[in-house]
């Protein structure tokens, strides 16, 4: 099996992390909804925002990785074109 096919079959670390963060955010939301104490509710809200921001950073990092991959492909193409007679 080629390397590309293996990587397509296997979930990326980012996808797994986003799934775990979704589960965590759901649990935090449940805690927030069930809490009656204002102070606890506020703290849980802060933790929820931090988890949501972490998920956003994972998305942004995935976009940056894709952009770098595309840039490397273009650099290799330019290098090959330059080295052709």
pLDDT at 77: 94
State the average pLDDT over residues 15-26.
94
The pLDDT, as a whole number, for residue 10 is: 64
- Dist CA 19 CA 11 (whole Å): 11
C-alpha span between 69 and 49 (Å, rounded): 30
Band (pLDDT 50/70/90 cuts) for residue 82 is confident
Instruction: Give the pLDDT band (50/70/90) at residue 14.
Output: confident
- Please provide the average confidence, as pLDDT, over all residues in the chain: 88
The more confidently predicted of residues 7 and 76 is 76
């Amino acid at each position: 099996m080629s390397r590309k096919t293996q990587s397509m079959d296997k979930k990326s670390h980012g996808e797994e992390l986003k799934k775990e963060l979704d589960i965590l955010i759901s649990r935090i939301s449940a805690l927030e909804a069930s809490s009656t104490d204002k102070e606890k509710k506020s703290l849980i809200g802060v933790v929820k925002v931090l988890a949501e921001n972490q998920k956003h950073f994972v998305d942004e990092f995935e976009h940056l990785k894709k952009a770098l991959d595309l840039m490397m492909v273009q650099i290799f193409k330019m290098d090959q074109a330059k080295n052709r007679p």
